[in-house]
Amino acid sequence: MAQRFLLGARHSQKEQKERAPALPRELRDAVAVRGDMFSPAYRSSQVKAGFSLKETIRRLRREGQDLAPPYYDLGVAFWLLLPGARSYAPEAVFRRFLEGRAWEGSAANIYDALAVSARELARQGLTSVFRDIEMQVLPILAAMELRGIAVDTAALSSLERSLRKELAQLEQSIYREAGMRFNINSPSQLSEVLFQKLGIRQRGKSAKKTPGGMRSTRAAVLEELRDEHPLIPLLLHYRESFKVYSTYVRGLQNFVGEDGRIHTEFVQTGTATGRLSSRRPNLQNIPSTSRWGKEIRAAFVAAPGYSLLSFDYSQIELRILAFLSGDARLREAFLQGKDIHAVTAAKIFQVDPSRVTPEMRRMAKVLNFGMNYGMGATSFARESGLSRGEAQEFIEAYFREFPQVRQWQEKVLQEARAKGYVPTNTGRKRPLPGLRSLSPRAAAEAERAALNYPIQGLAADIAKLAMIRTSQKLRARGVWEKKAFLLLAIHDELLFEVADDIIGEVAPLIAAEMERVFPLGEIPLVVTVAKGKRWGALEKVHFPRGTR
């Protein structure tokens, strides 16, 4: 299937010429941008074409210069044509899409890649997503990376001391219970200690193996063995603390810059669905739930005189599912302002919806999305604590309640099998060659990805539109990158740093803009707002009626 997206290789030069429509004038007149150079043309209104334009923009802005829009980023262009590849670096792109031509870093190379990608984007109906979404987001990401987010390093150091102490004690307790010293961080050594030396086994259950044939020691397995040996709860505790220590406390400290801020990199070509990813460090997976998690988040702070403002779409993918499937009852639930995550939590935990805790609701999220994207009864049972039979019945009841969701899924799969790819409402598409795999496992895996893609992909576009529109609004007010800074995009959440004296003005503005970026028919997009001096201690903001 990937062949369909390979360009040029199958055609002779002559055929190419006959088929290739002329490039629009603005692209023929594009300026080739090489990352290590500067040209007065960078200030012109011509299209700037090149690889890694975000990095070029960052470099130029650091040097007091800039790269004027409009942009044409070649890596992003080829990513839209074939999302999910490992690399969109020039060498990889030329190898895959411009066979026969090698990347030499020349302007001619850039024009070649521009011509090939632009024609194919147009042919596949991707021009609008590319130009109106991706190329608008690009300079916003550059600004976010340059700004960074402030970190309370003293808080992190204090956390490091606490965790060191706790880990040292846990380590000793674990050695004592095991009757020997070993590397707790080595799953193979731990597996041997647990299942050979101590002979721990779950009565009447088969051994859980990793793909490598080892007996698994992951948390889900240890959780089931919790009562079988006093070592197990110690290990679970150790695992959680060590994760926080190694990845978040020690790891993050290494990324704090001279300016006291962490500057993540947002990868625009990092996912197959249109989401962004974040790396070096990843600031999209900072812990949020556990006790340690809260403390880690509390180490991310606003600059003096500023506050952090968080805007998160409520139940975003469930609303999109209601919109796409048209399911009458799911739509009705959202028209009535229902919180489906809370409803599911209330059913699972058998409490009144008003008494659902944040932890219960987070668990319900996993179950709700799990059901919609193909989770089995066994996994549902483990996640929920229900028996396998109860889990099976719960899933069936869910699809009885929302029958049009199933119908929509069947339709998505049919079209996906016929076309070999899945589209989103914005025109983005993802090829899924696995759908035609002869391996039932691989085919089933591709089917689940196909069910997820139209929803996660549209959610990604909504979040990107939110970045674009809110930045435009703030720019019109004269505060963008002056008194209001976008710091992070966490999938369906935008985290701003805003001067205290304009919070009352811009918070309703941002929320209102986010709620209008993509109307889902009658289904409202709802944004939850929270603010505070520390990310780990935000308080919900309520707007008076009619202010947005």
Ligand X SMILES: Nc1nc2c(ncn2[C@H]2C[C@H](O)[C@@H](COP(=O)(O)OP(=O)(O)OP(=O)(O)O)O2)c(=O)[nH]1
Partner DNA sequence: ATTGTAAGCCAC
Partner DNA sequence: AAACGTGGCTTACAAT
Angle at 445 between CA 442 and CA 451, to 5 degrees: 140
Binding status of residue 535 toward Mn ion by CB under 5 A = no
Q: Which stretch binds Mn ion (CB under 5 A): 11-19, 46-54, 452-460, 488-496?
A: 488-496
Considering only residues 321 through 380, tell me which ones interact with ligand X, judged by CB under 6 A.
341, 365-366, 369, 373
Smallest separation, CB 206 to DNA (Å)? 8
Query: Binder to ligand X among 315, 384, 404, 409 (CB under 6 A)?
Result: 315
CA distance 532 to 470: 20
Please enumerate in sequence order all residues whose Cβ is within 8 A of that of 155, keeping only pairs 6 or more positions apart, or say none: 295, 298, 299
Residue 310 binds ligand X, judged by CB under 6 A: no
Q: What is d(CA 364, CA 339) in angstroms, rounded to the nearest whole number?
A: 11
Check residue 493 for interaction with Mn ion (CB under 5 A): yes
217 touches, from Mn ion, DNA, ligand X, none (C-beta below 5 to 8 Å by class): DNA
Structure tokens at 36: 């290590």
160 binds Mn ion per the rule CB under 5 A: no
Binding mask 469-498 for ligand X (x = CB under 6 A): ----------------------xx------
Q: Which stretch binds ligand X (CB under 6 A): 141-149, 210-218, 224-232, 314-322?
A: 314-322
What HEC string does 400-413 produce? Answer: HHCHHHHHHHHHHH
Q: How far is the CB of 507 from ligand X (least distance, A)?
A: 17
Residue pair 84/277 in contact (Cβ under 8 Å)? The answer is: no
Alpha-carbon span 60 to 75, nearest angstrom: 19
| Residues contacting 186, CB < 8 A, separation 6+ | none
Helix, strand or coil, per DSSP, at residue 499:
strand
Query: Least distance from C-beta 107 to DNA, angstroms?
Result: 29
Query: Do the beta carbons of residue 450 and residue 422 sit within 8 Å?
Result: yes
SS3 state at 493: strand
Question: Which amino acid belongs to residue 88?
Answer: Y
Residues in 407-436 that interact with ligand X by CB under 6 A: none
138 contact, one of Mn ion, ligand X, DNA, none, CB 5-8 Å limit per kind: none
Residues 6+ apart with CB under 8 A from 481: 143, 147
Task: Select from 126, 222, 316, 467 the one that contacts ligand X (CB under 6 A).
Answer: 316
Indicate the residue type of 358: P
Cβ atoms of 313 and 265 closer than 8 Å = no
Q: Closer CB to ligand X, residue 42 or residue 453?
A: 453
Alpha carbon distance 363, 376 (integer Å): 16
Question: Which member of 313, 380, 402, 421 binds ligand X (CB under 6 A)?
Answer: 313
Q: Strands of 48-50's sheet, edge to edge?
A: 31-32, 48-50, 71-73
Could you say which of ligand X, DNA, Mn ion, none residue 106 binds, taking C-beta under 5 to 8 angstroms by partner kind? Answer: none
Residue 246 binds which entry of Mn ion, DNA, ligand X, none, CB below 5-8 Å type-dependent: DNA
Window of 43-51, 124-132, 252-260, 313-321 that interacts with Mn ion by CB under 5 A: 313-321
Can you list the alpha helix ranges (DSSP code H) found in 202-290?
A: 219-224, 231-243, 251-253
State the binding partner of 216 from ligand X, DNA, Mn ion, none, CB within 5 to 8 A by kind: DNA
CB nearer DNA, residue 10 or residue 165: 165
Question: What does the alpha-carbon distance between residue 479 and residue 484 come to, in Å, rounded to a whole number?
Answer: 6
Q: Does 313 bind Mn ion (CB under 5 A)?
A: yes
* Choice between 493 and 497, CB closer to Mn ion: 493
Question: Smallest gap, in angstroms, from Cβ of residue 222 to DNA?
Answer: 7
- Residue 251 interacts with, from Mn ion, ligand X, DNA, none (CB under 5-8 Å by kind): DNA
Interaction between residue 314 and ligand X (CB under 6 A):
yes
By CB under 5 A, the count of residues binding Mn ion is: 4
Which of residues 313 and 408 has its CB atom nearest to Mn ion in the complex? 313
**Token pair in block for residue 271:** 């996912």
Please state whether beta strands 71-73 and 48-50 pair in parallel, antiparallel, or not at all (unpaired): parallel
Name the site residues for ligand X (rule: CB under 6 A): 312-317, 341, 365-366, 369, 373, 491-492
